[in-house]
Amino acid sequence: MKRILTALCMSLSTFTAIPCPWRPWDEEARPLAVVCLPIVGAVVGLLWCLLALLAGRWLPVVQSALIVTLPWLITGFMHLDGFMDTADALLSWRPLEQRLRILKDPHAGAFSIIALAVLALFSYDAARCVGFSGDLRALLFIPIVSRCGSAFSVLTLPTLGHSEYARAGGSMVQRLAILAMWALALLACGLWLKGQILVLLVETLAYALAMLWGYRTLKGVSGDVAGFALSVAECAGLVALATLRLRMLI
């Protein structure tokens, strides 16, 4: 139990900007910290939903912008940084060695800026429709599903040599636990929000396609590649939710 609590605190302090008074570190618990990512997603989703609802009541003028940026703020822009680095490498269309060098380069290139602008535009347009509908409950589940994808990918697929997850490993039990949390999120969404389970299925497909692109192009996964796929998936989840809302309103 202590190791699970340690892993959860490691995951919260590593993957969010939420203040954590207890910040333990146990290198042997690193794979378990990755397994805790969906739980971190539940925390992010809860804060995302509650703060977006409060913004709709007290700051409706900027609610759409907050719906887009709240997940970035809660995670300290960590996954967005990975999105930009990976987009720069993927869109360079250079040989593999140069792509990997670009991936590790801390400077932002033109392709990363363009990709970020496209991601923000799609997210903002979708957020306007979602905020107008007033039903934000699906925001609880979107971060859980995206982090299930990241956790499963990092513990299953071969990692890049420079990745911080190169020694993380991952047992079959841990992978099954992640799949169980993904299935539980879909089941809970389906029972509570009925047709909105389609949002999570679209998000899952978007994550799989983004991860496949990154993995096949870079010949491995890393935290940056997982952040890229997570950002694409959450944007796709917002777009799917907005599309569903529009169809219900028409």
Q: Tell me whether residue 187 is in a domain.
A: yes
Whether 16 is covered by a domain: the verdict is: no
- Range of lowest pLDDT (82-91, 95-104, 154-163, 203-212): 154-163
Q: Is residue 205 part of a domain?
A: yes
pLDDT band at 41; cut points 50, 70, 90: very high
Note whether residue 148 is domain-resident: yes
Chain centroid to CA 207: how far? Answer: 9
Is 50 exceeded by the pLDDT of residue 250? no
Q: Does residue 56 lie in a domain region? A: yes
pTM of the predicted structure, to 2 decimals: 0.92
Give the pLDDT score at 30.
77
What's residue 26's pLDDT?
A: 66
Burial of residue 50 (CB within 10 Å: 0-12, 13-18, 19+) is: middle
Distance (Å, whole) CA 49 – CA 133: 13
Classify residue 28: in a domain, yes or no: no
Does 10 fall in a domain?
A: no
Q: Shortest CA distance to 42 belongs to which of 11, 63, 73?
A: 11
Q: How confident is the model over 104-145, as pLDDT tens digits?
A: 888 888 899 999 999 999 999 999 999 887 789 999 999 999
| Domain total of the chain | 1
Take residue 18 and report the two structure tokens written for it: 């939420």
- Which residues face 159 on adjacent strands? 221
According to the model, what pLDDT value does residue 172 have? 87
Predicted pLDDT at 33: 85
For position 71, what pLDDT does the model report? 95
221 φ/ψ angles, rounded to the nearest 5 degrees: -120, 160
pLDDT score, position 124: 96
Tokens of 215: 């993995």
Range of the domain at 68: 34-249
> Residue for token digits 């146990």?
26
Asked, for residue 153, whether it belongs to a domain, the answer is yes
